Structure 1
Amino acid sequence: MSHLIVEISKYVIIILMAVYTYSCFAVFSTWDPDSKRDMLRNQNVLMFLLHLISFLILFMQKDFDVQIAGLYGLQVVLLATTILAYTKLYPKVSRVVLNNMCMLLTVGFIMLTRLEYELAFKQFIFAAIGIGISLVVPIIIKKLKVLSELRYIYGGVGIVSLLAVLLLAKASGGALLGFTFGGFSIQPSEFIKILLVFFVASSFKYSLSFKNIVFTTAVAALHVLILVYSTDLGAGLILFVVYLTMLYVATKQPLYLLAGGVAGAGASVLGFKLFSHVKVRVQAWQDPFANYDYGGYQVAQSLFAIATGGWLGVGLMQGEPEKIPVAESDFIFSAICEELGLIFGICLILICISVYIMFLNIAMELKGMFYRLVALGLGTVYIFQVFVMIGGVTKFIPSTGVTLPLVSYGGSSLLSTLIMFAIIQGLYILREEEENEQRKKKLRREAGSRKAGRRAGNSGNDRQRAKGL
C-alpha cells in the first residue's frame, strides 16, 4: 500500500512542479493586473501543496517520525512568514522573485530532510537567519546612496578575507574554503562574490578610462588568483566570468571580451599543468569510469543516479542518493533527479532561468549605471553558479564543487544567496519608484499643457468678444 502511495505521489509532485514552472513564464506575458495577482497567489498554493505531499511521504517512509512533522511545521511557518513579511514591508516587492526564492528553498528543505534530518534542521536555522537579515537589505539599498562610492572598501575587504582563508584556514576536501566555529562553517568566498560585484560596479561608475579599467582588472584578477591558489576553483571561475560580463556590458568593447577569453583559456591551460587537483578533475570529466578510483567516483555515481531516476524518478525514499558523495551540497541535483525525476530537474532549471530573466529585466530598467551593473553582476553570479553546478554533476563541464543556490546544504551559500535576492528586491523597489516618479512628472506636464491650452483658448475668446464690441 505504501509503495502505491509513493508511486502516485511521484506523479502529483511532478505535475505540481510543472504547473508552477509554466506559471513562472506565463506571468511575463500577462498584462492584466488581476490575472497576474491570481497567478502569483496560485504559485504559493502549488508550492505549499508540493511541500505538504512530499513531507507526508517522508513522514510515512521514516516510520512516522515526529521530528519530521515538527520540522515540516517550522518550515511552513518560515515560508509563510517570509511571503507575508516581504509583501507587507515592501508592497512593491517583486512577487516573481519572492515566490521563486521560496520554491527553491522548499525543494532544498524536502531533499535535505530526505537525506539527513540534522542537515535539514541546520539549513532551516540558516534560512531563518538569512531571511531575517534579508528583510533589512532593501531598506539599505534604498536609503544608502553612498554605496556607489565605496569601491576601495569592497575591494580591500574582499582581498583581505581571501588572504585570511589562504593563510589561516584548514584544508577541507583538498581545498582552503573557510573557517569552522562551533560546528558551523563560514565560507567567505560566497560573500566575496557580492563584494566583487559591488566593487566592479562602483569602479566603472567612477570612470571607464583605460587606466581605471586596468586597475579594476588587476584587483579582480587578484581575487581570482587567490581563489585558484586556495583550490577554490568554482568560486574563482564564477568571479572571472562575472567580471568579464560586467566589463563588456559597461564598455561595450568586444576587444576586452576577446582579450579576457584568451587570458582565461591561457590560465586554464597553465592551471592544468601547474596544479595536480585541476588535472585530476579534468581527467575525471573526460572519462569518470576509466578514472573511477582517481577522482572519477563522484561524477560516475552522479551519472548512475540520474540514469536510475529516468524521466519520472523512483519516488521519494525509494532511491539510494546516499551513495553519491556530498549529495547534500555539491551533487544535490543528482539526488533530486534520482528520486523526483529528470522532468522535475528540468523544471528546477527553468525556475532558475526565470529568476535570471527577472534579474535582467530589473537591470535593463534601472537608470543609474551603478545599480544597473549590480543587478547584472548578481544575476550573472546566480545563473553561472547554477550552470557550473549542474554542468559538473551531468559531466557537461568538469566538476568544480559549487552549490546549487538555495537548494544545496550550506550556511554561507544560503545566507549569501538570500542577501543577493534581497539586494535585487531593493533594486526592483527603486525601479518601481523611478517609474512612479516618471509617471507623476508626465501627468504634471500633461496637466500643465491642458491648463496652458485652456488659458490660450480663453484669451482667444476674450479677443473675439473685444472685436465684437
Structure 2
Amino acid sequence: MENVMVELSKYIVITLMTIYTFFGFFVFQKKERKGQEKIYWIQRILIFSIHFIFSFLLYMDTKSMKVIGFYSYQVVFLVLTIILYQFVYRNLSKLVLNHMLMLLSISFIMLTRLNFDLAKKQFYIATASMVICLFIPFVIEKFKMLSRLGIAYGITGIGILILVLVFGKTIYGATNWLELFGIMIQPSEFVKILFVFFAASMLSKCSRFRQIVFITILAALHVLILVLEKDLGAALIFFVTYIFMLYIATSNAVYLFSGLISGVIAAVTAYQLFDHVKIRVQAWSDPWSDIASGGYQIAQSLFAIGTGGWFGMGLGKGLPNSIPVVESDFIFSAVSEEMGGIFALCIILIYMSCFLTFLIISMKMKNMFYKLTALGFSVLYIFQVFLSIGGVTKLIPSTGVTLPMMSYGGSSIASMMLIFSILQGLYILNQNEDEKVGKRKKIITSGQRTRDSKAQGN
C-alpha cells in the first residue's frame, strides 16, 4: 500500500508543480491586478499542497513523530513569512515571495530526507534570517546615504576576505571558512552583498577612464584574494558580476569582451596552478576513467539523475546519500533522482522566473545606484544557479557553489534571503515612485479640467 501511495504521489506532485511553474510565467501576461492576485493565491495553495504531500511521504518512510512536529514548524514559518512580509514589504512582488517560499519548502523537505539534523539547522537559520530581513525596507527607504558608501563597502569586503585568508579554515581545498564562537561561517557569502553595493555605488558616479581603472583594481583585489583562498567558484561569481555591471554602467562593449577574454585566460592559468582544479576538469571531461577517485562524485550525480528519469524514484526510494556532499553542492541531483526530471526542470524554470522579475526591477529603477544594485544581484544569483546546476549535470566542471535557497549552508541561505529581500525593497521603492507619479498626474489632470471648466463658464 505504501509503494502505491508513493507511486501515485509522484504524478500528483509533478502535476501540481507544473501548474505552479506555468503560473510563474503566465502572470507576466496578466495586466489586471485582480487576475494577478488570483494567480498568487493559487500558487500558495500549490506550495502548501506539495509541502504536505512530501511531508506525509517522509512520515510514511520514517514513521517518526519528529517529522510531523518539524512539518508543523515549517507550516508556521511559511504562514508567518507570508503575513509579515506582506505587512512590512508594502507593494512587494508576491511572485518573488512565492518562489522564495517554494524553494525553501523543497529545501526543508529534501534536507529532512537526507539528514534531519542538518534540516533543523537550515530551518533555524532561515527563521533568523527572515526576522532580520524584516528590517531591510526601513534601511533602504530611510538611509539615502547607502549610495555614497562605495569605498567603505569595498574596503570592508577586502578586509573581511584578508581576515579569512589569514585566519580561515580550509575545507575541501578552499580556505574560505571562519569559526566564531564554535559556529562555522563562510564570509564570502556576505561579502557578495558588499561587493555589489560597492560596484553599484562607484560605477553609478564614474565618468572618466581613470575612475573606472581605480574601481576595477579594487574589484580585482576581491577576486585575487578569493583565488589565493582557492575559493575559485566565488571568485568566478564576483568576476562575472562585476564585468556585467561595468558594461551596463558604461554601455561600452569593449569592457565586456575584454573581461570575458581575461576570464578565459585566468581560467587556463588556474588550471595550470591549482591541482584541485585539474582534478575537477579531468573529472568533468571523463569521470569514468577515474570513477574510484576524482570522478566518483560527478559519476554518482549522473547515476542519480539518470536513475530518477522523468518521474523520479519517489521520495525516500532513491540512494542520494551515495553522492558525496549531496546536501550542499549536489542537492539538485538528489531532487532529480527522487522527485524526477520534470520536477527538476520546473525548479530551473522557477529560478528563471525569479531572474526575469529581478531584471524587470532593475530596468524600471530610475536611480542609477539602485538600477546597478538590482542588476548586480540578478547576475550574481543566476550565475550561481548556472554554476551549481551546470556542475552537477556535467555541463561544466564542478565549482563547489551552492544552489540558491535549496542547498544546505547557513551562510548561503542567510545571504540569499538577504539578497531576495533587498530586491524586494528595491521593487517597493519603484512601486512607491510610480504611485507618487500617478497621484501627481491625477492632480495635474484634475486641475487642468477645473481650469478648462471655469474658462468655458466664462
The 3-state SS of whatever aligns with 1:317 is coil
Structure 2 residue 183 is matched with structure 1 residue 195: no
Larger displacement relative to structure 2 (291-300 or 316-325): 291-300
Q: 1:17 maps to what in 2?
A: 17
| Deviation readout 1:183-217 (Å, 9 max, x if unpaired) | 53210111111111100000012223111111111
1: CA distance, partners of 2:199 / 2:215: 7
The 2-side partners of 1:189 and 1:69 are apart by 35
Aligned equivalents of 1:134, 1:117: Cα separation in 2? 25
Question: 1:405 & 1:20 partners in 2: Cα distance?
Answer: 19
Q: CA deviation at 1:290?
A: 1.1
Is 1:55 aligned to 2:48, yes or no? no
Contact kept, 8 Å, 1:162 with 1:223, in 2: the verdict is yes
Q: Deviations over 1:255-291 (max 9, x none)?
A: 1111111111111111111111111111111111113
- Conserved in 1, the CA contact under 8 Å of 2:47 and 2:102? yes
Query: Normalising by structure 1, what TM-score?
Result: 0.96
Are residues 1:76 and 2:75 paired?
yes
Q: Select between 176-185 and 351-360 the one with higher mean Cα deviation.
A: 176-185
How far 1:10 moved relative to its partner?
A: 1.1
* Other-structure match for 1:2: 2
User: Does residue 372 in structure 1 map to residue 371 in structure 2?
Assistant: yes
Following superposition of structure 1 onto structure 2, how do residues 294-443 of structure 1 map, counting pairs within 5 Å?
A: 294-443=293-442
Contact 1:284 1:294 in 2 (8 A): no
| Deviation readout 1:297-335 (Å, 9 max, x if unpaired) | 111110010000000000000000000011100000000
Residues 281, 398 of structure 1: 8 Å contact kept = yes
1:208 aligns with 2:207: yes
What is the CA deviation profile of residues 137-165 of structure 1, one whole-angstrom value per residue up to 9, with x for unaligned ones?
A: 12111111000000111101110111111
CA distance in 1, matches of 2:261, 2:389: 25
Stretches of structure 1 that go unaligned for 5 or more consecutive residues are: 460-469
Aligned to 2:88: 89
How many angstroms does 1:168 deviate by? 0.6
Q: Which moved further from structure 2: 183-192 or 353-362? A: 183-192
* Larger mean Cα displacement after TM superposition, 347-356 or 23-32: 23-32
Aligned-partner SS, 1:367: coil
Give the secondary-structure state (helix, strand or coil) at the position aligned to 1:185: strand
Letter in 1 for 2:442: L
Amino acid in structure 1 at the alignment position of 2:176? L
Q: Which amino acid aligns with 2:40?
A: L
Counterpart of 1:465 in structure 2 is: none
Contact 1:204 1:250 in 2 (8 A): yes
Residue in 2 that maps onto 1:30: 30
> Which piece of structure 1 moves more, 178-187 or 434-443?
178-187
Whole-angstrom distance in 2 between the partners of 1:177 and 1:441: 51
In the alignment, does 2:156 pair up with 1:157? yes
Distance 2:29 2:208 in 1: 40
Q: Which runs of 5+ in 2 are unaligned?
A: none
Count of residues paired in the alignment: 458
Distance (whole Å) between structure 2 residues aligned to residue 181 and residue 196 of structure 1: 22
Which residue of structure 2 aligns with residue 44 of structure 1?
44
Give the secondary structure class of the aligned counterpart of 1:206.
coil
**2:432 equivalent to 1:450:** no
Q: CA deviation at 1:249?
A: 0.7
**Paired residue for 1:281?**
280
- The one-letter code of the counterpart of 2:48 is F
The residue that corresponds to 1:464 in the other structure is none
- What is the letter of the counterpart of residue 187 of structure 2? P
State the AA in 1 paired with 2:94: R
Distance 1:262 1:415 in 2: 33
The Cα of 1:122 is off from its aligned counterpart by 0.4
Partner residue of 1:169?
Answer: 168
Structure 2 SS opposite 1:330:
coil
Amino acid at match of 1:115: L
Aligned counterparts of 1:160 and 1:99: Cα–Cα separation in 2: 36
Distance in 2 (CA, whole Å) between partners of 1:258 and 1:88 is 44
- DSSP 3-state at the match of 1:138: helix
**Contact 1:280-1:294 at 8 Å conserved across structures:** no
Shift of 1:294: 4.1
Output the amino acid matched with 1:177.
N
Deviation at 1:38, TM superposition (A): 1.1
TM-score if structure 2 supplies the norm length? 0.98
User: Conserved in 1, the CA contact under 8 Å of 2:359 and 2:378?
Assistant: yes
How far apart are 1:182 and its partner, in Å? 5.3
In the other structure, the counterpart of 1:463 is none
Determine if contact 2:89/2:424 at 8 Å carries over to the other structure. Answer: no
RMSD of aligned residue pairs (Cα, Å)? 1.0
Determine the C-alpha separation between the residues in 2 that align with 1:204 and 1:35. Answer: 39
Aligned sequence identity (%): 50
1:98 partnered with 2:97: yes
Letter in 1 for 2:156: V
Larger mean Cα displacement after TM superposition, 181-190 or 421-430: 181-190
Q: Which whole-Å deviations, capped at 9, do the CAs of 1:5-53 have from their partners, x for residues lacking one?
A: 1111111111111111011011111122212111101111100010000
For the residue of structure 2 that corresponds to 1:177, the secondary structure is strand
Amino acid at match of 2:236: L
Measure the CA separation in 1 of the matches of 2:218 and 2:289: 40
Aligned partners of 1:203, 1:24: CA distance in 2, in Å?
Answer: 34
Larger radius of gyration between Structure 1 and Structure 2: 1
1:178 match:
177
Q: Give how far 1:90 is off.
A: 2.5
Superposed, 1:216-235 pairs within 5 Å as 216-235=215-234
Q: Is the 8 A contact 1:109 1:124 kept in 2?
A: yes
Return the letter of the residue paired with 1:152.
Answer: I
* TM-fit CA distance, 1:345: 0.3
CA contact (8 A) 1:158 1:195 kept: yes
User: Does the Cα contact within 8 Å between 1:392 and 1:399 map onto a contact in 2?
Assistant: yes
Q: What amino acid does structure 2 have at the position aligned with 1:274? A: L
What letter matches 1:13 in structure 2?
A: V
> Hey, what's the Cα distance between the residues in 2 that align with 1:204 and 1:183?
38
Paired residue type of 1:327: V
Q: 3-state DSSP class of the match of 2:184? A: strand
Quick one: distance in 2 between partners of 1:143 and 1:371? 14
